[in-house]
Structure 1
Amino acid sequence: MSRIWLLVFLGGLVLPGVQHVSGIDIYTPAEVEAVNGTYVKLKCTFTTSHPVSLQSVTVSWNFRPLNSGSEESVFYYQEVPYPPQQGRFKGHAVWSGDILRKDASITLHEVPPTFNGTFICQVRNRPDVHGSNGEITLKVVTRASLSEIAILAAAVGGACGLILIILGVIVGIRLCKKKGAENDVELDTREKEWKDPTVW
């Protein structure tokens, strides 16, 4: 019995010093590919241990180019979106998230090759401000990748093949009906010949 009281006493001394450390978990795809001049959505979602409100959450998007380690601001959100007013992302970055749904995504319009690099999504939900950032590597290419072209070609080829099969079936049915009708006429003529004694 004395051991139990000793453990309770020691636990009472230790527990007040232990604090629950909450954190934000951020989810992004590791890599995204976009064709030069098109638009691309940079998906960023998060989970947090505290209630989410438009006033408590801030979102920062930053960019780290391939050729340098210095980051530059892409987008900022606090109650309302703050798109960039200068720099390479002016007129290109648009808010496409929904804070109440825990979505901090943005969309980039008319992406040029200078957008090749790493985009960093940082979300804070006061007092929950701890957690790692989400990082997306964007690759801007001049044309669609082989896998995208192959999928498109397979879809078009499959549709054309299906149309040809349907047309073949329709033509085959019509030919069978026509041949059947010709056979019926020929049989009728022969029957008349057999029944009519005046026909030689």
Structure 2
Amino acid sequence: MASFGISRTHCTPLAVTLLLALVLPPALAIEVYTDREVYGTVGSKITLSCTFWSSEWISDDISVSWHFQPENSRDTYSIFHYAKGQPYIDDDGIFKDRIEWVGYPKSKDGSIVLHNLEYTDNGTFTCDVKNPPDVVGKSSYVHLLVHDKAPARAGLILGIIIAAALVLVIVVAVVAYLIRCCWVRRQARVARELSALERGKLHKSSKDSKRSRQTPILYAMLDQTRSSKPSSDKKSKGGLGDSRKDRK
């Protein structure tokens, strides 16, 4: 009986733990999201976006922290912290007077803005959010690259190529349309000229036929006039001779 009591005492906490694991739902970890890479130019400003999702209501104890690890360095620096509704900016670090808080935790936003970018700002920035009691989760990282001029991204280059291809297609289509219009107009003009030429030939042939019909008639009239002239001359000559005979 004593042994049974000892075993019962030792098994009770384990049973309670198993029962709680079966009854209570598993805890959902907070999730933080940032861009993988961002690009900036010297002297400009850039927004480091940080959003999050939490299974709990946004409490007054929510906190947002930003850390910075310079490029080619293992050291990490705390550069910004938000807690109890107040932002706290590092006054002694490399981002002194260059960080602006633009986040709004009630909208699940913990973003910051960096002003007057420098080459030394190249590195990795880490955003970490805690929303008690939802405090379990991984931080999110964003890599900043600062250049003299903003580099062309692959998406921008692809967009330019696609736009150029579309413009080329439109130009080819317009040229083909103009060529076709010119060809159609030329064919219509040629057809008009051929029809006009055909009408001219028909008109000329009709005139020639009329002339050919009139020519025999003219020749017949000329023949008649020629044949009538000798007879009249003979008559006149005969009349003169008779008159001379009568006079004698």
TM-score by length of 2: 0.60
Q: State the Cα distance separating 1:120 from its structure 2 match.
A: 0.8
* 1:193/1:199 contact within 8 Å kept: no
Partner of residue 41 from structure 2, selected from 27, 36, 59: 36
The SS at the match of 1:130 is coil
- Find the aligned partners of 1:166 and 1:98 in 2 and give their Cα distance: 51
* 1:33/1:141 contact within 8 Å kept: no
Q: State the Cα distance separating 1:140 from its structure 2 match.
A: 2.4
Partner of 1:14: 17
Partner of residue 168 from structure 1, selected from 164, 167, 175: 175
Partner of residue 147 from structure 1, selected from 147, 154, 161: 154
Partner of residue 23 from structure 1, selected from 29, 54, 72: 29
Runs (5+) with no aligned partner, structure 1: 1-5
Larger fraction in helix: 2
Q: Give aligned pairs, total.
A: 192
Partner of 1:74: 79
Partner of residue 164 from structure 2, selected from 157, 168, 191: 157
Runs (5+) with no aligned partner, structure 2: 1-7, 210-248
Q: Which has the higher contact order (CA 8 A, sep 6+)?
A: 1
2:131 is the counterpart of 1:133: no
* 1:33/1:138 contact within 8 Å kept: yes
The SS at the match of 2:183 is helix
Instruction: Describe the superposition over 1:142-185 as per-residue Cα deviations: whole angstroms up to 9, x where unpaired.
Output: 44157356425414532441342243134213312321331232
TM-score by length of 1: 0.71
2:55 is the counterpart of 1:52: no
Partner of 2:4: none
Instruction: Describe the superposition over 1:4-23 as per-residue Cα deviations: whole angstroms up to 9, x where unpaired.
Output: xx9x9676533478686553
* 1:65/1:116 contact within 8 Å kept: yes
- Find the aligned partners of 2:163 and 2:144 in 1 and give their Cα distance: 28
- Find the aligned partners of 2:45 and 2:142 in 1 and give their Cα distance: 15
Partner of 1:3: none
Whichever residue aligns with residue 71 of structure 1, its letter is: T
Larger fraction in strand: 1
Change (3 A) 1:176 1:145: same
Partner of 1:180: 187
> Percent identity at matched positions?
27
Whichever residue aligns with residue 70 of structure 1, its letter is: D
Instruction: Describe the superposition over 1:114-134 as per-residue Cα deviations: whole angstroms up to 9, x where unpaired.
Output: 111110101011222232221
Change (3 A) 1:199 1:68: farther
Whichever residue aligns with residue 129 of structure 2, its letter is: V
Whichever residue aligns with residue 178 of structure 2, its letter is: V
**Structure ID, larger Rg:** 2
